[in-house]
Copies of this chain bind each other. A is one copy, B any other.
Amino acid sequence: MLFRIEPDSSIPIYEQIIAQVTFGVASGSLAVGGLIPSVRDLAERLMVHPNTVARAYQELEREGVLVSRRGRGMEVADQADNLCRKQRQEILRRRLRDVLREAVSSSLPVEDIRHLMNEELHRVNGQKK
């Protein structure tokens, strides 16, 4: 699986990592029962501090997405795929709701909001790699 982060985003790096692992498990590109990259390995690949990766993994373990296997590393937990699909849905719904709530509160007409929304969905979907 390909990890990519944006160091200058306003979203903390560890949250970006959490989201990417969650989405990876939800989509199946990180298989249940499979090992994920070690903290050091991923930190080196992403050029971030190992503490940052460790924090993300710790959080994912707390959520039940990862389990640590002594001496081997961390693997994707049983049932994590269902869990992650639910979380994916809820994360995205929540973010959409926040931005749409702000858009509506700005007094921009709903038609304009819908127009912007479709425009950006097309643009973003077209750039998918």
Chain A residues within CB distance 8 Å of chain B: 13, 19, 23, 26-27, 29, 49, 62, 70-71, 88-89, 92-93, 95-97, 99-108, 110, 113-114, 116-117, 119-121, 123-125, 128
Contacts and interface: CB of A to CB of B under 8 A. Distances in A.
Given A23-B107, A107-B23, A107-B26, A100 B124 contact: yes
Chain A contact residues, majority secondary structure:
helix
18 contacts: A19-B102, A23-B105, A26-B108, A27-B107, A29-B107, A62-B62, A88-B108, A89-B108, A89-B116, A92-B102, A92-B106, A93-B119, A95-B99, A96-B99, A96-B116, A96-B117, A104-B128, A105-B128
Given A92-B116, A102-B92, A105-B23, A97 B123 contact: yes
Contacts of A29: 107
